């Protein structure tokens, strides 16, 4: 693994762990963090040994958004943007679990809402405070607003810079679970273990088919899903799963 300055990254037992690690700035995203997050997410996408990933933050916050005082921010050049990071995350077909240990704001909320499963600590919150700073938002209108059940609920948060509590996020279907702070990482790990009981290629196929067909008509969605499913059926794991079911035993997945 690379030596990172702003994140902690590790891989163990097919699970990648990414922790935002700028606690003095409440894990604000500066240019260096974007570079390092992209490198970690690229490894998650391309490393066959990784089957699932968990993303969290160093207490007390998950992420406070963009570092408005980052002196390198205006010299980004070809460095991936936070918007690009969110889109990149959406195109990783391995499951991404976000464990929100504290407030998740602005650009941080952008890539969290591009993940697949969200577990929230009772200390967490979700919001876009930009209007209180005299600026607008990219992820709030483009991702955040679409996670709320109605236009008026979304505007109630975005136009006031108001944060959604963990219980509100659960009620709106944004969070999968809300847990005590000390139970956050064990719960995220439990989700990862339950996912890894399933065939990794089949899991990726489900996510890929869902992502690629999300905004398309039903018939086209079904064609995409069927094409991907046909490929997975012929994989080693596809054959092993059917054989294990027939022999009434636990399958042994190889990820190929």
Residue 156 main-chain phi, psi, to 5 deg: -60, -30
Residues across the chain:
256
What's the whole-model pTM score? 0.93
Helix or strand holding residue 177 (H, E): strand 177-179
**CA distances, 141 to each of 37, 58, 109, 211 (Å):** 23, 27, 12, 20
Reply yes or no on domain 7-196 having CATH 2.30.30.230. Answer: no
Tell me the per-residue pLDDT of 48-101, one tens digit each, with 9 for 90 and over. 999 999 999 999 999 999 998 887 655 555 678 888 999 999 999 999 999 999
Tell me the per-residue pLDDT of 153-185, one tens digit each, with 9 for 90 and over. 999 999 999 999 999 999 999 999 999 999 999
**Using CA atoms, how far apart are residues 26 and 79, in angstroms rounded to an integer?**
22
Query: Domain boundaries in the chain?
Result: 7-196, 200-247
């Amino acid at each position: 693994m690379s030596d990172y300055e702003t994140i902690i990254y590790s891989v163990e037992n097919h699970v990648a762990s990414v922790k935002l690690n700028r606690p003095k700035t409440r894990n604000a995203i500066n240019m260096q963090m974007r570079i390092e997050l992209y490198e970690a997410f690229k490894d998650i996408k391309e490393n066959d040994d990784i089957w699932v990933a968990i993303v969290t933050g160093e207490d007390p916050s998950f992420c406070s958004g963009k570092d408005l005082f980052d002196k390198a921010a205006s010299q980004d050049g070809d460095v991936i943007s936070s918007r690009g990071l969110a889109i990149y995350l959406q195109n990783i077909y391995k499951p991404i679990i976000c464990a929100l240990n504290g407030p998740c704001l602005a650009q941080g909320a952008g890539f969290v809402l591009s993940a697949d499963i969200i577990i929230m600590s009772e200390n967490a919150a979700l919001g876009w405070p930009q209007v209180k700073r005299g600026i607008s938002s990219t992820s709030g209108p483009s991702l955040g607003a679409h996670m709320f059940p109605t236009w008026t609920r979304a505007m109630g948060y975005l136009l006031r810079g108001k944060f959604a509590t963990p219980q509100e996020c659960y009620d709106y279907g944004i969070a999968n679970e809300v847990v005590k702070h000390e139970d956050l990482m064990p719960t995220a790990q439990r989700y990862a273990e339950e996912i890894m009981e399933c065939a990794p290629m089949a899991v990726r196929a489900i996510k890929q088919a869902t992502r690629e067909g999300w905004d398309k008509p039903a018939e086209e969605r079904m064609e995409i899903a069927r094409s991907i499913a046909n490929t997975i059926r012929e994989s080693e794991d596809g054959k092993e799963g059917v054989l294990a079911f027939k022999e009434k035993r636990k399958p042994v997945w190889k990820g190929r």
